[in-house]
Structure 1
């Protein structure tokens, strides 16, 4: 057994405990969480720590197979330019891609992440995930905006998902602008028939909404760049999110990722439908690509379920949930540490369906434990750092 005593313990499922005591077994299972007023004194070999003990972090959006693109894509160019740059580097040497993904896996562990929802377009991360200490869920992501290709692309996604089993895996659409209505329908039919968690990139830039509303903007040039004929597509006279919501299943949890240009009308529109929507923010990637953040206050005021992700190293300097929390804290000082912590732990675990093990410090769970130091006045600062305890 190990006993940790810290200035505060944040179970997330309960109020913070001053001078809290956490006891774990050799496997990391929580044996007890208590305050000094209602428990026996800690044993002589207890580790007394200055700082705050929190659960391991849950990263609900990452692309480990893009880790080799770190520092290769120029920041601030906007989403369309970013997509074109990423595609230009896609055919890198396999050994380099695997080595970078392995390093990314270790980086997440060192930064206190215990679970990761990872997006994949190939099987290149399969071996890494099989041997990792992290819990992974893999989203096999489908691209395909031409209706005639829908059946073939879906069959390829099914085959790739089979390669990842028995690991946790599901099939999902990439984004509204990259998936045809026919392909969305195939994914919905599949999702209606069994368990299939969904994660979709959503409204990362204004051009996405312009494309769906008026068939204008940067995506027109992007399709030309890739040689894709989109003559068949007709403008929908409404934003991309409003256009695809009717095409999504009501039987699965859905994670909408980025949401940089989502507005209140979009949120009200969604509320008219019976859909299990969660919202993931990747603030560092938003700043890297578009130099802006989503309207976070809008989502908070609507009481929506929010999680955090890192996106890939193609659009981020590090894979660290604390870093994402810090960016939000710096830009939105009104956010409390408790709120940010819940986004980075419990909410993500609940979305991934792993909250029986992760997300909160509770007896019987194995959530991992992190020590945060450098908090000031209950706020995350530039000095705040994370160290992994178990």
Structure 2
């Protein structure tokens, strides 16, 4: 099985991927491997002719992994999305195609037989570019996929035209990071049809929509750790059989992907994701949930987003630290966390920012933000 690497710099025309991707999905051409770094290499042999794409993980917390996605897995994901949204339609591509959320816009468009629209990204994501691209859409049914940082920028000081076009979308998929109560409230106040998604490259992107798994997807919580099963699972990691065996396991006759996320399942099958397992910060021998601290901060008036991390501390071993977007007094943050979670959960360092450093896919760059917090101690 051959592999077709496709370099996708910022000025890349994403529609150049449609023809080779269509051939790969039909089993009539090599697997495609969109990538951003000019020096990226693809080491290892594809396991079979069923692999249609190799997509790198975001690398937000470590080295990106090259995930092999099969024809059947991509088809199952596209079909599950169509069932969940109860329609197929035209998609607006607002994310890089070398990340799974952007790549899936092309996949869904091919399966639906519609031609996507893409915004110009040579200057990065801007509300103006999004509005211009959305205005060029022609189909009656319209979708797009965003990350919270993008939606925050769109709603920070929106023009009437931007709001009109955002409302015109039948659904806006939002994933890659938690939405946060403040952004959720703003989106609701503008009557936007948001679907909060959960997933990763290893599941062909979002596989849980508004807490409900896509058709054919199963989730279990094992000691608080989520594992995912179903036809959307990747074949594994290119050139890394050891990591593949560690993360993709067989249990009870079924293949599962072991996530690094904590979560609970309700009796009706819906899922609540609490964040990454390693978001538990042990400070002064006490455990603090970074997700819970973030939730408290994001519930405060004036806060748009918050990211809570642990940073090295001589006194505490690891200290709680928070990066915050918005206009809020730092002492109000400390008081709120103290009241809700106790003194040990209060961030020792709080930095207010105009915007988070982000990865090319739009996710907050946790390593860059951690470095900012460490310098601010």
TM-score, with length taken from structure 2: 0.32
Higher strand proportion? 2
Greater share of residues in helix = 1
